[in-house]
Every structure is written in structure tokens, then in C-alpha cells.
Amino acid sequence: MQSFRSELENLENPVVQKDIIALADKIQMFREGKIDPDKFRSLRLARGVYGQRQPGNQMVRIKIPFGRLSVKKLRRIADISNEFGGGNLHATTRQDIQIHYVSLDRTPELWAKLEQDDLTVREACGNTLRNVTASPVAGIDKDEPFDVSPYAYAVYDYFLRNPVCQEMGRKFKISFSSSEKDTGISFIHDIGFIPKVKTENGQEVRGFKVMIGGGLGAQPVAAQKAYDFLPEDQIIPFAESLLRVFDRYGERKRRMKARFKFLISEIGIDEVMKLVEAERKALSTQSYPITNTLGQPALPEKLGFSDKAINDLEKYEAWRNTNVFEQKQAGFYGVSIKLPNGDMNWEKAHAFGDVVLKYAADDIRVTVNQGYILRYVKEESLKSLFVELDALNLADPGFNSTGDIIACAGTDTCNLGISNSTRVALELEKVIEKEFPELIKNNDLHIKISGCPNSCGQHALASIGFHGSSLRNKVNKKTVPAVQVLLGGGLGKDGDGFLAEKVIKVPSKRTPDVLRVLFNDYEDNSNDGEYYYDYFRRQGKDYFYQLLKFLADMESLQPTDYIDWGKEVQFEVETEVGECAGVIIDLFSTLMYDAEDKYKLAQEAFDGGSIADSIYHTYNVFINGAKALLIDKGVTVNTQVSVMKSFEDEFGQDFNALTGGSFKDFVLRINQNEPTEAFATAYREDAGKFLARIKEVQKTLLVEEPA
């Protein structure tokens, strides 16, 4: 594992170097049994390292801010996938790229090599602010008031390694749409930004409509509007204030209730916004102007042409009609690349990069439907581009159509997967290709599949959605792989969002028949031009339940129904504790380790001039220390606010000499003071005294325990 240290010499950022060395050291401590396994899991998840279903293998998730990739970065990922993993690049619905089958001990070296091309795994998993996504057509969208790409990058950059979002109760997601059509699907995000402009004193002013509190998972919730228009320089201060509120008030014990959407449901959006405003004083910046610093992508120096002719004119025309669109820049076209299950092997990625540099801008965008979009292709080059993409099997028509099915990795690699999702997707694409080929031109009806209820495949957004499940045959007591059918989700033509509703559960092997029934019904009974989400609501949920009920019949099961797609043995549910949301640590020694670590980080941040970061690290010293003592006494707490209250109830008298009274008020000086050096120093000194007192009190608890 130590071979990675030579790679660090190629990195100029000492913060990154320290981070990678820390991961390597923690892996070594874990191997030697010196660090709690749950704590170690939390740490590696925040560094993009996710345990696979296959023992000893890791999935490494690479953050691709707003999905933007250069060819150089794509090639770097391809080479790393070949050297460290299974050789596949898996594009996700969060615009990340994942590498599978990586050894834990090699992850520091892998990370170091990624960073040589400014790629990171930091905060790609775990209870962190995840990858900031954006509409993949941002910058070339005819409907956009302005390009949101620089804003998405600024948010990503500002919060990377920011102490406010490192160890929250659950993950947190931010998106940017390019227009009011909500192509970034803001309505399913914790914060969704939609660009707007208005005129003030004769000048155009940029800002954003802000949506908050959306989310998918097992209980999908649509976001609510926080602002009609938030000036552009306020989006980062607002996001930081809101993250502070979520960190402090969000649930930390009941995992299924720990997302931001549940906090809004519990206390209401008005109270959330009051708390957000109360945090503003503590921010290091009250205004954060964002300028377009991304620059224009490099274009080919001359028009590229292939020396090969088109062999299939019909396929070319279908590709041209479904995968090519005009940009807002006159004379240029965007070209979409459809990828089955979002997968591309490393060799093809290299060849694909050559094609991109020949015909398009050096600016590839990973899409939310697990594909890619190329930019700035001249019309004269489209036929040649098609020929070269087709030679790589990357010119399949029907991008983002009914035939372009989204599926998460499911039981292929994920511990949470219940029944297979990727093979189901391929089987359904066969049904569409052979029996309903006209649907490759339809981009209003979408199919999405997840391996479990957690919606990594975004089934709750689908016109027709499925998630992995199981059924029990009451007669023979055997378990059948199944899918939950959900209908009526999607993005409306005016930007309205619709969440799919659960209708019925059927054996997985009957999923193709579900699709046939639904397609034929829609063809026979929908009105001209009626979108599927409107059709579903017109007919009603019970109509579809009755329509599909015969496929849920357990008395007519065949032997093959007990075997999942791609398997040869009797199906069994084999899920384990998932890692997508991190873990909750309640051990005294681990929490005290965290508290002392935060105390050191507070000093380092202060020495480096990051005063606000120093203060927030110090705040976490108080929270972790207090929680450690509460846990040691057997007191259960589920939010940071409840930690402060319970600590005051249980140990207030023991700490009164330090706090002067209310422990909560003592700690919450963080949002009552501006982030000055004087306050940071005093706050940190109090934290040091607090840690010392914690250890003294804990010793008395040990003495009081009965033998």
C-alpha cells in the first residue's frame, strides 16, 4: 500500500496530500484492529470508497462536478479503472463515474492518481454534500437565461472539505437546472436552483428560484419553494446557512427519517427559513459573487471527416432525429450518447475520447440518464461523427427515449439490492426494440429501475418505474424475485414534477409482460397528445391495479419464476446493511477520538487563516464530546440540538463552572458571533477545557458503575 506515496510527489495541493495519507493511515489502523469498524466505514465512505456485495471489493465513486469531463480526465479514469478495478466506467444518475472491484488497500494510490488530473473522490459517498449536479445541456440550452455551469462549480468548490457538511445525519444533494423546464430536476433535491433574470434600474440581474426539501428514496417528497428570486451572490451563503441548520437539527439516529425532507415535514418550511436566517451572522461571507471562470472549451482546429461511408442510412436518420439537437450557439449541435446501463469499458473510453477531440468540443457532460452529451459539433461533421461512433457501438438512436432505460447497479454489486435491475433493463429494452420500435422516438414516456426501494435508478421519477423486491409463496413457502411497479412520475412540459405511485408487486420474470400490457393500454385508451403522467391520473391508480392484477397471481408460478434474471439457482434475499447513507457511531472512545481530532483541525484551520472553519470544527468538539458522555451514561439522542439539551439535563451541574449556566447557549455562541479571530480563539480555548472536563467526569461514571 505504501507505493502510493510516490504518486503524492506529483500533487501540488498539500491539503489533498494530507487527506490521502490520512486515508492510508486509517486503512492500516483498521487492518491492525486499532480503529472501530463503523468509524472506519464512515471515514472511507466520505472518501468515495463503498463496500461492494462481493467481499473484499470496493466501489470507488469519482465526483464529476455538474457532469463536466475533459477527454484527458476521461482517459485518466479509464486507465485507473483498468489498473485498479474491473475495467468498466459506470455513469450514474448523479453525474458521477464509478469504478468497481477495487482493493481497499489500493484506494490511496488510486485517489492520488486521480488527483493528478484534478479528479476527486472526496465526499462522493457518505453523510456529506454529494456531487453537485446540473442540467447536462447547461451552456448550450436554447431556453436558458444564462449558463449555470459556473455556479454549480462554485458551489462544489466552496463546500469541498468544508467542515459544515462532512458528518451530517444523512447525505445532502444540490442541483442546478438550466431553465424553468427544470432539466436538473430540482424538485427531487434538498436544494434545487433554477436560473432567472430580472431588470433593475435598467440592468439585467441574475438570480435563482430556489426549491428545498425534495428527495426520492423509499418515501419520495417533492421540494417546496423557498425563494422566487434569490440574487446570484446569495446562493452560497444561503446553502451554507441551510446546511448548518440541517447539521444541527437533522435526525441522526433513525436512519430512515434523517433526510432534510423529514426535518421540513417535522417543523415546517417557515421555521426552517427562520433558522436559516439565524445562521447568517456566523458566516464568513455575507455575499459570494460568482464569475464565469470556467472558460470556453477547446474546439477542433479543423472540421473532421471520416473516410468511411454510412452503411445504414435508416439508422443514421433515426440517430439524427433522436440524438442530435441544435444548440443556442448558431451553427453548432449537441450530440447525445446512449449507454446501456451507463457502462463503457476502458478501451472504448480511450477510442471515444479520440472521436470527441476530432469532432466536438473538449467538454463531455455526463447526463442524469447515464449517458454522455457532446457539444459544438458542426453540421458538416455529423455524418462522419455518426460513422465513428457507430463503429464503437455508441450510435444507438433513442437517447432519453422510452427505449433508453435507467437502471442502478442493483444486485450486481450493491449490498442493498434485492432483485436484479440491470438484466431487467436489458430485457425490457429488447421488448421495446422488437415489439414497440416506434417508442425509440418517444421522449415523453420514461422507464427507470432500481434494485431496491432507495431509488438510485430514480424509479420514483418514471412514467413506468420498477424497484427490486420479493414475494413469498404461501403454499410452498418459497421466495420469488419480484418488482414493485410504480406509475405516473416524470417531468412535465412546463417544468412541473410528478412522483410515481406504487401500484402493484409482481414476480420479476413477468416484468416484460407488465410493459406489454401498459404500452398496449396506453395506445388503446389515451387521448391524442396525452402525457403518461396525465393519463395515469385520469384513469386512477385502481384502474392500473386491476389491469395488472393477473400478473401478480401466485398460483400460476412457473419454476423459472423462482430464479432471478441472470441467475441459475433458487432466489434468496441477500441484502446487507447498505452504505449509501453512512453509519451512526455511538461509542464513547470513538466519539472522543472524533472530538479530539476536531480540536486539532480547529487549530490547523485557524493557523491557516480559515477562521469560520476553525469555529465550526470547535463546535463539533462540543457536540461529539457531549454525545460521548451521554452515550456512556446510556442516554439516547438523535439530533445535535437534543445532544445539547440532554447534556444540560444530565451533566449541567458538572460543567456549570465552565459554561456559566446553559450548555446550549454556551455552545450556540457559534451563531451569535461573527467569525472573528478573537471569538475563534476564545471558543477553541473553551473547547479544550471542555474536553479535559469530559474525561474527569467520565472517570467518576466508571467508579459509580456497579461491579
What digits encode the pLDDT tens for the residues 204-257? 999 999 999 999 887 889 999 999 999 999 999 999 999 999 999 999 877 778
pLDDT of residue 35: 82
Query: Nearest CA to 131 among 219, 43, 190?
Result: 190
Range with the lowest mean pLDDT among 165-174, 302-311, 461-470, 622-631?
Answer: 302-311
Q: What pLDDT does 398 receive?
A: 94
**Alpha-carbon span 112 to 8, nearest angstrom:** 6
The 10s digit of each residue's pLDDT in 364-422 is 999 999 999 999 999 999 999 999 999 999 999 999 999 999 888 877 778 777 878 88
Q: What is the CATH number of domain 588-704?
A: 1.20.120.330
- Residue 361 has what pLDDT? 97
What is the rounded distance in angstroms from the CA atom of residue 592 to the CA atom of residue 627? 9
Q: What is the pLDDT of residue 290?
A: 93
pLDDT beyond 60 at 704: no
pTM over 0.75: yes
| Structure-block grid coordinates of residue 422 | 440491470
Residue 257 is placed in which grid cell?
Answer: 427519517
Residue 563 has pLDDT above 60, yes or no: yes
Task: Quick: pLDDT tens for 530-548.
Answer: 999 999 999 999 999 999 9
Contact (CB, 8 A) for 173 and 482: no
DSSP 8-state class, residue 10: T
Mean pLDDT along residues 414-442: 88
Residue 147 predicted with pLDDT over 90: yes
Instruction: Give the residue range(s) of CATH 1.20.120.330 domains in the chain.
Output: 588-704
Q: What is the mean pLDDT of residues 665-693?
A: 96
Q: Rounded to an integer, what distance in angstroms lies between the CA atom of residue 211 and that of residue 255?
A: 23
Residue 127 DSSP label? S
Query: What is the reported pLDDT for 301?
Result: 84
pLDDT of residue 634: 86
Task: Specify the CATH class of 4-115 in words.
Answer: alpha beta
In the numeric block, the cell 461492494 is attached to 52
Q: What is the mean pLDDT of the chain?
A: 91
pLDDT at 576: 54
Instruction: Encode pLDDT of 37-79 as tens digits.
Output: 877 888 888 899 998 888 889 999 999 999 999 999 999 999 9
| Superfamily classification of domain 133-282 | Sulfite Reductase Hemoprotein, domain 1 (3.30.413.10)
Reported confidence tier of residue 586, pLDDT bands at 50, 70, 90: very low
pLDDT of 592 > 90? The answer is: no
Q: What is the mean pLDDT of residues 554-571?
A: 86
353 within 8 A of 322, measured Cβ to Cβ = no
Instruction: Give pLDDT tens digits for 293-335.
Output: 788 888 998 888 887 889 899 999 999 999 999 999 999 999 9
Q: According to CATH, where is 3.30.70.3340 located in the chain? A: 313-391
Query: Is 3.30.413.10 the CATH classification of the domain at 406-562?
Result: yes
Q: Is the pLDDT of residue 127 over 70?
A: yes
Which residues is 69 bridged to in the sheet?
364
Task: Look at residue 582 in the predicted model and tell me its pLDDT.
Answer: 43
Contacts of 135 (CB under 8 A, 6+ apart): 141, 144, 148, 176, 177, 178, 179, 183, 184
> Given a cut of 90, is residue 500 above it in pLDDT?
yes
Angstrom distance (rounded) from CA 74 to CA 346: 9
The structural architecture, per CATH, of the domain 313-391 is 2-Layer Sandwich (3.30)
Mean pLDDT computed over 282-296: 89
Task: In whole angstroms, give the CA distance from residue 319 to residue 390.
Answer: 10
Q: What is the mean pLDDT of residues 553-568?
A: 87
Provide the percentage of residues in the chain whose pLDDT is more than 70: 97
Task: Provide CATH 3.90.480.20 ranges for the chain.
Answer: 4-115
Pinpoint the residues of the chain covered by CATH 3.30.413.10. 133-282, 406-562
* Rounded Cα distance, 28 and 213, in Å: 39
Query: What pLDDT, on the 0 to 100 scale, is given for residue 574?
Result: 66
Bridge partners of 480, per DSSP, are: 471
Q: Which three cell numbers stand for residue 42?
A: 464512515
Distance CA 417, CA 152 (A): 31
Query: pLDDT (tens digit, 9 = 90+) per residue, 634-660?
Result: 888 889 999 999 999 999 999 999 999
